[in-house]
Amino acid sequence: MKKKLLFIGISMECAGTEKAFLSLADAIDYERYDVDLLLARKSGSLLDSIPPQINVIEMTGPTGLFFLSSKNAFANIWRSLIKPNPSSFFTVLPWFLKLVFARTKRSFTAARMWVALMKKYMPEFDGSGYDAVIAYWGDRTMFYMLDMVKGAKRNIAWLHFDYANPPREDALYEPYFARCDAVVTVSESIDAALREALPSVAERCVSMENIISGRLIRTEALKGETFPDVGYKGKRILSVCRLSYQKGVDFIIPVLSRLRKEGIECRWYIIGDGEESERSKLIEAAFNAEVADIFMLLGTKLNPYSFMRDCDVFVLPSRFEGRPITVEEAKILMKPIVVSDYLSAREQLWDGELGIVTPMGEEGIYRGVRRMLSDSSLRDRLTVKLSKCDFGTEDRIDRFYDIVEGRLPGKNDC
């Protein structure tokens, strides 16, 4: 008899978690499992890429709460809660006052506010028919799974992030982790850090790297568009990431400025979107630094692999990460890679054997990129090294089956 799984997500925008889900979904044996995907919003450029065997369900209630951020909090809560339900103003007001007067750790207050509003206004979901529920989109989907999905046999939290960055409140997260049958992290270093931070939930922790199809990535790299400036003779640097503080995109402008002053001919391209305010800040900074002509914002691309294929260097200057899937994709396409020293960076690049891991910040990124651009023999050595490795990980699906069926983790398995 087939087992029934429920994944909980937010939307299908073109981002790392969504792409990781699609790779996992593509590997599942649908003769063995019936799979539902419960989304806060049935939208996003990757929605049509979901395998047809998966039944997609949309949540009811004020699902806009899942898209709450520090920049849109007031407008989001007005649209999601107060406008359709004016009496909710009296529930929200005390939380806003706490946020306004919080001198430190406002993010802790914001997380508790989100949980409180979710529990009060989101309707319950019947999970009694599922053998396992997987909160795949991170902490908000974990809170929703444990408080609003009732009756499932097994609850699994999937963490794509470094628990310690940005800081999270142990007193809030620890009881939720303790209610999970498994807490899955996407790298061994993140798993070890979580176990150290919260020893009480260590026996529930298990690591499983994202499933990535090397065959699919190499096939897609041969299709589609590439850089618009055909004929450019300088070096092309590519980053595939959101325009956000986390991704360290603010380091790029001063690094480009320094490279230009040294006479290094290059252009830096970013594939990805973010808040319009962040985009505007980057464009203004590029003009002020006189590098606007070599700083290219390309927006979201459903197929970034053709751009990866044609770049000279791939760079991810993030301040913090889980195990970024874009770096794995760049490895598959044998690109010289420069990354900042986020938690799993050395694990991903084998302590520097597969690329340059730099100290975090402008100076580190500058030195790493400058070295990579200036040393053609280093780029060649890295490409040869990467060409001898197989980073396709479709065979990891057996570990997924062990997790959802309760064979991992456990006191004898961790």
- Tokens standing for residue 186: 């996407």
| Domain co-membership, 14 together with 147 | yes
DSSP state of 229: S
Provide the token pair at 298. Answer: 């390309």
Q: Is 218 left (phi over 0), alpha (psi -120 to 50) or beta?
A: alpha
Tokens 């802790």 map to which residue? Answer: 108
Element (H, E) at 175: helix 170-179
User: Which is higher by pLDDT, 69 or 209?
Assistant: 209
CA-CA distances (angstroms) from residue 344 to 162, 189, 390? 9, 6, 19
50 in the same domain as 8: yes
Q: Is the pLDDT of residue 102 over 60?
A: yes
- Give the pLDDT of residue 22: 94
Angle at the Cα of 115 from the Cα atoms of 202 and 15, rounded to 5 degrees: 75
Asked whether the predicted pLDDT for residue 412 surpasses 50, the reply is no
**pLDDT higher than threshold 70 for residue 411:** no
Find, among 18, 12, 19, the residue nearest to 217 by Cα: 19
Kindly state whether residues 242 and 368 are assigned to the same domain: yes
pLDDT in tens, 135-155: 999 999 999 999 999 999 999
Query: What's the pLDDT at 105?
Result: 82
pLDDT at 106: 85
Match 């020893």 to its residue by tokens. 199
Convert the pLDDT of each residue in 182-205 to its tens digit.
999 999 999 999 999 999 999 999
Average pLDDT, the chain: 94
Q: What is the model's pLDDT at position 394? A: 62
Q: Is residue 324 part of a domain?
A: yes
Q: Which residues are bridge partners to 393 per DSSP?
A: none
- Considering the chain, what percentage of its residues have pLDDT values greater than 70? 98
Q: Are residues 151 and 204 in the same domain?
A: yes
Per-residue pLDDT of 227-272, as tens digits, reads: 999 889 999 999 999 999 999 999 999 999 999 999 999 999 999 9
CATH code of the domain covering residue 289: 3.40.50.2000
Is the pLDDT reported for residue 4 higher than 90? yes
Give the tokens for residue 324. Answer: 């970024």
* Residue-level pLDDT at 414: 31
The residue segments making up the domain with residue 375 are 215-387
pLDDT band at 392; cut points 50, 70, 90: low
The DSSP letter of residue 241 is S
> Would 118 be classed as within a structural domain?
no
DSSP classification of residue 38 = E
Report CA-CA distances (Å) from 305 to 218, 271, 308.
8, 11, 5
**HSE, side-chain direction, 13 A CA sphere, residue 281:** 12
Question: Taking 60 as the threshold, does the pLDDT of residue 410 lie above it?
Answer: no
Residue 238 shares a structural domain with residue 383: yes
One domain for residues 310 and 382: yes
The verdict on 192 and 334 lying in the same domain is: no
Q: What is the model's pLDDT at position 213?
A: 84
Look at residue 86 and tell me if it is in a domain.
Answer: no
Tell me, yes or no, whether 323 and 253 share the same domain: yes
Q: Give the per-residue pLDDT at 409.
A: 65
At residue 382, φ and ψ (nearest 5 deg) are: -65, -40
| 357-379 pLDDT tens trace | 999 999 999 999 999 999 999 99
User: What are the tens digits of pLDDT across the range 269-324?
Assistant: 999 998 888 999 999 999 999 999 999 999 999 999 999 999 999 999 999 999 99
Give Cβ neighbours of residue 115 (< 8 Å, ≥ 6 apart).
143, 147, 172
pTM of the entire predicted model: 0.89
> Could you read off the pLDDT of 36-53 as tens digits, one per residue?
999 999 999 999 999 999
Domain count, the chain: 2
Q: How many CB atoms lie within 10 A of CB 84?
A: 12
